[in-house]
Amino acid sequence: MPIRPLQVSLRLILPLALVIGLSALVLLPMVDDLTQRWFLRDLDTRAQMVAASIREPLIDYVMLQDSDAVQDLLARAAIDGHLLALDFCDLKGHLRYRSSALPPQLNCRAASSASMRINAIALEQSGIAIGQLLIVQDTHFIQRRSDEFRFYLTVVFLLMFLGISVLVAWIAHWSWLGWVSALKNLLRLETASPTGSVTPPEFRPLVGDLRAMLHQMHIERRVQQQSPQAWTPQKLRSLLHDELAGDEVLVVSNREPYIHEQGEQGIVVRRPASGLVTAVEPVMRACSGTWIAHGSGSADRLTVDTHDRVQVPPSHPAYTLRRVWLTSKEEEGYYYGFSNEGLWPLCHMAHVRPVFRTADWEQYVAVNQRFADAVITEAHTDDPVVLVQDYHFALLPRMVREKLPKATIIMFWHIPWPNPESFGICPWREELLEGLLGNTLLGFHTPFHCKNFLETVDRYLETRIEHEASTISYGGELTQVEPYPISIAWPESETVLDIVQCRNELRESLNLPKDHRIALGVDRLDYTKGIVERFQAVDRLLESRPELIGHFSLLQIAAPSRSSLDEYQNLEARVRRLANQINQRYLNASAPPIVLRIEHYESDQLAKCYRASNICLVTSLHDGMNLVAKEFIAARDDELGVLILSQFTGAARELHEALIINPYHIEQGAQALYRALNMPAAEQRERMRSMRTLVRDFNVYRWAGLMLLDAARLRRRQRVTEKIHTHSQHPLRRAV
Ligand code: ADQ
């Protein structure tokens, strides 16, 4: 028997041995006592029977005082094997007659002992007592039988134990073999062809996890194989050169990477606070393509050429920004309405209800079409690589596909994808899904979001889904769905500011003492970011640890966002009010617990804050990835500082050394803050070092590189398929 089933059997048999052993210990004396009592009762019955059989002649002989007849009668009755003696005692208790085998020490007052049983049976003649008959029986045989009985019972228990053990070992062995082969079968089916696979019922709960795990392993293996060295802009550039040589790359996003604003002293250029821009900008720098985005700045029109194009970054141009102009009605319906009052709350579990209006949907369709037209105009080839960014453009992939069927369309969905039930409340769910299935490749942050998407499509459209290959076949075309965890660009060392200087400058600018401890929050002012819960955690911390009052503050930097929407205005008012309320409670303290800055910070200012803080606090109620967590880690080349991270961020799936919290649990947030404030430097270093290695290696170039590698692979297949197609009579479908 293999070692594992033996261990399993032993695990079952040992408790069994214990139970049977204990039962034997309890049962044996009980059964023994019971049988002894049965034997004694038998002896008593026998004595009564003997007495009954000789009673009448005995009384007659005693009355006649015929001692020979009495002796003879007693002797004859005492012949039976167990009867030791029969005696007659008179009323004064004198032994008058006795059978010959009576032990000499026995008299009329003798009582039963371990070796003999004595029954005294009264005799009377016409109601007058004349004496008693003593019947003495040997009880040695009871002890003998009891010993035998114990012996057999012990043997029965042993045999029972052996029998059950063999049976258990046998069942364990075969169950084990059955499980192993069913699991192997499942793994084989999951890694080969899931279609038509029948999962044994006991494994059904495991299938989802198993698939996610296999998928993750598949990606990690692929990354290891493909990236022996770290991902850098140079590597990304050479990858674009090798894999997509000469191919045209177009990016589509709502937010532009550079906004020209009319300032008091002329036109100024601003970079928006957006995770998306942070992530995609390095890719465009590396591949010099065209970025199509909404021109939203007050001086944007003044800075473009006649084709609405401008070269960016302004300091050292590397790619083209093509601006699309939207009327306020379009912006109202497509951006604020359908995207941010509809899709944003639909995809985030933050307990804000999505609002869907037909007028907004119509603008969403129209604006998607306008951006799709821009892609078609900007494309110089019939098969460009189009990188579509985010939930503002769910319909665009299909619109572009209709005009440029050979294009490789890659879309990254920067926010979570909800479960099918949640998504199902959108009145235009089928249209959105059909739009998204115009993509060649559709990326999400985590395998969990991919799984939700596949399940949603499965629920609402007639498609064929290959889970192992993670593809969806719809209308004869395939869309591949993959997780690509987004990240940041690793900061270049020459731009990094001195850490002590950062600490001193930040505290000085906030009017705080040099040794004041700071937790930092950096977010767009959005209800998904858990800013209110963060303040409550700080309040709770000071309530439970008053010694920290005046020695610790939260610096919350919140970039104004979507401020024309009611929900966001209410949030801002609530955040300001709560910060005030908390600060009012600690008016006597030398420093306010909450320092709130509702403003946009430039990236170097943010870097200074990251480097100057003791803690970075990310408490999103739901977040696709969260880049702030990664930016904080990247900024800490001193390997100090503690990251407190919400379990509801994609980042929590990668940054296991952070203090992971449930932001809804205020007490837990407060405890994590306390733990972070008291964490020894050695532990901070250990955690930070490990997270820094991960973020440095799994950076934004890798994110983009993996998507582009997959795009290149799909293009190669597409070209092969087309070649075959031109030599074939039959139309072929687009291959993935
Ligand atoms: P966001 O919701 O914008 O991104 P996040 O990933 O945290 O969230 O990125 C925010 C970015 O804005 C960071 O680069 C940060 O530095 C910057 N920022 C925040 N506050 C700022 C301020 N006050 N001033 C200046 N800059 C500020 C969406 C999804 C995320 C996903 C990203 C990337 O919601 O889940 O991680 O896209 O895909």
- CA 523 to ligand 1 centroid distance, Å: 6
- CA 629 to ligand 1 centroid distance, Å: 10
Among protein residues, the one with the nearest Cα to ligand 1's atom 35 is 624
For the Cβ of 446 lying below 6 angstroms from any atom of ligand 1, the answer is no
Q: How many CB atoms lie within 10 A of CB 514?
A: 8
Q: Give the residue from 44, 49, 34, 35 showing the smallest Cα distance to 117.
A: 44
Ligand 1 atom closest to residue 627's alpha carbon, by position in its atom list: 6
**pTM here?**
0.71
User: Facing residues of 385 across strands?
Assistant: 249, 408
Euclidean distance between CA atoms 34 and 37, whole angstroms: 5
Ligand 1 atom closest to residue 624's alpha carbon, by position in its atom list: 35
Q: How many CB atoms lie within 10 A of CB 590?
A: 12
For the Cβ of 525 lying below 6 angstroms from any atom of ligand 1, the answer is no
Predicted pLDDT of residue 194: 44
For the Cβ of 616 lying below 6 angstroms from any atom of ligand 1, the answer is no
Predicted pLDDT of residue 196: 44
Euclidean distance between CA atoms 47 and 399, whole angstroms: 110
User: Facing residues of 466 across strands?
Assistant: 471
Q: Are 644 and 672 in contact (CB under 8 A)?
A: yes
What is each CA distance from 425 to 200, 244, 396, in whole angstroms?
33, 40, 21
Among protein residues, the one with the nearest Cα to ligand 1's atom 18 is 273
- CA 524 to ligand 1 centroid distance, Å: 6
- CA 700 to ligand 1 centroid distance, Å: 14
Helix (H, G, I), strand (E, B) or coil at 247: coil
For the Cβ of 663 lying below 6 angstroms from any atom of ligand 1, the answer is no
Ligand 1 atom closest to residue 558's alpha carbon, by position in its atom list: 23
Among protein residues, the one with the nearest Cα to ligand 1's atom 2 is 275
Euclidean distance between CA atoms 457 and 717, whole angstroms: 25
For the Cβ of 279 lying below 6 angstroms from any atom of ligand 1, the answer is yes
φ, ψ dihedrals at 488, nearest 5°: -120, 170
Q: Give the residue from 221, 75, 736, 115 showing the smallest Cα distance to 469.
A: 736
- CA 311 to ligand 1 centroid distance, Å: 24
Residues 6+ apart with CB under 8 A from 221: none
- CA 275 to ligand 1 centroid distance, Å: 4
Ligand 1 atom closest to residue 600's alpha carbon, by position in its atom list: 24
| Of 251, 270, 274, 349, best ligand 1 pocket probe by most atoms within 8 Å of the beta carbon | 274
For the Cβ of 522 lying below 6 angstroms from any atom of ligand 1, the answer is yes
Predicted pLDDT of residue 278: 66
- CA 640 to ligand 1 centroid distance, Å: 23
- CA 530 to ligand 1 centroid distance, Å: 14
- CA 564 to ligand 1 centroid distance, Å: 19
For the Cβ of 631 lying below 6 angstroms from any atom of ligand 1, the answer is yes
For the Cβ of 390 lying below 6 angstroms from any atom of ligand 1, the answer is no
Residues 6+ apart with CB under 8 A from 538: 519, 554, 582, 593, 594, 670, 673
Ligand 1 atom closest to residue 529's alpha carbon, by position in its atom list: 2
Predicted pLDDT of residue 732: 44
| Of 280, 283, 448, 523, best ligand 1 pocket probe by most atoms within 8 Å of the beta carbon | 523
DSSP string across 383-417? S-EEEEESGGGSSHHHHHHHH-TT-EEEEE--S--
| 270-284 burial: b if 16+ Cβ within 10 Å, else e | ebbbbbbbbbbbbbb
Ligand 1 atom closest to residue 651's alpha carbon, by position in its atom list: 36
Read off the tokens for 131. 């004496």
For the Cβ of 597 lying below 6 angstroms from any atom of ligand 1, the answer is no
Predicted pLDDT of residue 701: 87
Among protein residues, the one with the nearest Cα to ligand 1's atom 23 is 559
- CA 429 to ligand 1 centroid distance, Å: 27
Return averaged pLDDT per consecutive 10 residues of the chain, 736 residues in all.
63 84 86 87 88 87 85 79 80 80 73 83 86 86 85 87 85 79 68 50 67 61 57 81 83 95 93 70 79 97 97 93 97 98 97 97 98 97 94 98 96 97 98 98 97 98 94 94 94 81 96 96 97 98 97 97 96 98 95 96 93 98 97 96 98 97 98 98 98 94 90 83 60 47
Q: Which residue has the tokens 């194989």?
A: 225
Among protein residues, the one with the nearest Cα to ligand 1's atom 28 is 275
